[in-house]
């Protein structure tokens, strides 16, 4: 099976870093509870992001920090989301009894800034979530849009930068000016650590104080803390892999565009969304029969759309070959 459905990093964790991680873990680390404040990791993250230690919180994947945001700020209230986007916001909102309000993106998937601003200042809306670069559409939001929204928002403005190492502008420079702005990040994509579950959040002190009321003390295990710190200490190795993924993304984009009837959407991330003449469910099933797992992202705003993660070159080659075989028999 070629797995291109979850935007994971196609390259295994670097063996030389893995050796370092195992060397740094001691037998006592297994028997004792982890550092609840994950101080060593947060210190590394302070260096990477330029944000103060006290404005950084780590979580068991960014999924956990999304849930914490919903629990701390959204319970019994509403949150607004620029859709179509990452499906887990809705799930975490539901767990926290926080009602989702959709703010549809424009035809080209850019933000409807006026509508988002309106939602961000509506009574009852406590959070506005914007994913940039956006999963699954791939486009990033210009910083000036976020600034405009944060300027007038009565709610928190949460920007999910899970894919920012692959493209788009980060909102970090805005954090010092907007205490209502929150940035989410993850080690699951550019840093290839989806299995170890490490995400983090950057926010002002008052936001952090509320979040700490719902955070589980030992949310991030020792091993993941040490591994994430090792990533930060060996950043060039990981950034080189990001460059390789970007080159592959451009190649994959060109090859997809050459297939008959395929519409490809530009991506600033490590995945590409595309549309074919076939119903997305049909194409998904046929690709699966050929051993290639991709993601069906079809919905009212994304008719006949699927998403493929940028894999290793040999995986992408098989993906293109199989998709080409399926589409060859289709009248465009
Ligand atoms: C936009 C976005 N945010 C967050 C996540 C979750 O990341 P994590 O693995 O850190 O929980 C994903 C995973 O696909 C994602 O696409």
Helix H or strand E encompassing 83: strand 78-83
Nearest-CA residue for ligand 1 atom 3 is: 162
Q: What is the pLDDT of residues 105-156, one digit of tens each?
A: 999 999 999 999 999 999 999 999 999 999 999 999 999 999 999 999 999 9
Shared domain for 201 and 310, answered yes or no, is no
Rg (CA), the chain: 20
CA atoms in the 13 A half-sphere facing the CB of 255: 19
Q: Which atom of ligand 1 is nearest to the CA of 7?
A: 14
Whether residue 165 has its Cβ less than 6 Å from ligand 1:
no
Residues 260 and 218 in one domain: no
Query: Can you name the residues that pair with 219 across neighbouring β-strands?
Result: none
Q: What is the pLDDT of residues 66-105, one digit of tens each?
A: 999 999 999 999 999 999 999 999 999 999 999 999 999 9
Count structural domains, the chain: 2
Closest CA to 307 of 271, 261, 259: 271
DSSP string, 192-217: --GGG--EEEE--HHHHHHHHHHS-T
What residues form DSSP beta bridges with 2? 292
| Coil vs helix vs strand at 308 | strand
Residues 43 and 158 in one domain: yes
In a domain, 15, yes or no: no
Ligand 1 contacts CB of residue 64 (under 6 A): no
Which residue, 213, 233, 253, sits at the end of a domain? Answer: 233
Last residue of a domain, one of 187, 208, 233: 233
**CATH code of 137's domain:** 3.40.640.10
Q: How confident is the model over 184-197, as pLDDT tens digits?
A: 999 999 999 999 99
pTM for this entry = 0.97
**Mean pLDDT, rounded, for 278-295:** 98
267 burial type by CB count under 10 A (0-12 exposed, 13-18 middle, 19+ buried): buried
Residue 309 CB–ligand 1 contact under 6 Å? no
Position 329 confidence tier, pLDDT thresholds 50, 70, 90: confident
- CA distances (Å), origin 130, targets 9, 11, 15: 23, 28, 35
Range of the domain at 277: 2-9+236-328
Q: Considering the chain, what is the average pLDDT of its residues?
A: 97
> Both 293 and 152 in a single domain?
no
For residues 147 and 158, membership in a common domain is answered with yes
């Amino acid at each position: 099976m070629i797995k291109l459905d979850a935007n994971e990093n196609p390259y295994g964790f670097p063996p030389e870093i893995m050796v370092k991680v195992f060397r740094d873990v001691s037998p006592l680390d297994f028997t004792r509870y982890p550092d609840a404040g994950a101080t060593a990791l947060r210190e590394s993250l302070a260096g990477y992001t330029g944000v103060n230690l006290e404005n950084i919180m780590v979580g068991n994947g960014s999924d956990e920090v999304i849930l914490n945001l919903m629990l701390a700020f959204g319970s019994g209230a509403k949150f607004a989301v620029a859709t179509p986007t990452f499906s887990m916001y809705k799930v975490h909102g539901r767990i926290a009894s926080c009602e989702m309000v959709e703010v549809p993106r424009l035809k080209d998937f850019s933000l409807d800034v006026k509508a988002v601003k309106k939602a961000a200042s509506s009574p009852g809306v406590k959070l506005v979530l914007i994913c940039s670069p956006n999963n699954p559409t791939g486009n990033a939001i210009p910083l000036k849009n976020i600034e405009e929204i944060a300027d007038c928002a009565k709610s928190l403005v949460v920007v999910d930068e899970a894919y920012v190492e692959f493209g788009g502008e980060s909102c970090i420079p805005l954090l010092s000016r907007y205490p209502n702005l929150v940035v989410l990040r993850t080690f699951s994509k550019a840093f290839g650590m989806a299995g170890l579950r490490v995400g983090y959040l950057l926010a002002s002190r008052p936001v952090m104080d509320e979040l700490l009321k719902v955070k589980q003390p030992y949310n991030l295990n020792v091993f993941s803390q040490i591994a994430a710190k090792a990533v930060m200490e060996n950043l060039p190795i990981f950034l080189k892999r990001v460059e390789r993924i970007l080159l592959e993304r451009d190649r994959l984009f060109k090859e997809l565009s050459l297939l008959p009837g395929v519409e490809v959407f530009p991506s600033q991330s490590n995945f590409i969304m595309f549309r074919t003449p076939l119903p997305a469910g049909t194409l998904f099933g046929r690709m699966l029969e050929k051993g290639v797992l991709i993601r069906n992202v079809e919905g009212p705003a994304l008719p006949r759309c699927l998403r493929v993660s940028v894999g290793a070159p040999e995986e992408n080659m098989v993906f293109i070959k199989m998709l080409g075989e399926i589409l060859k028999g289709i009248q465009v």
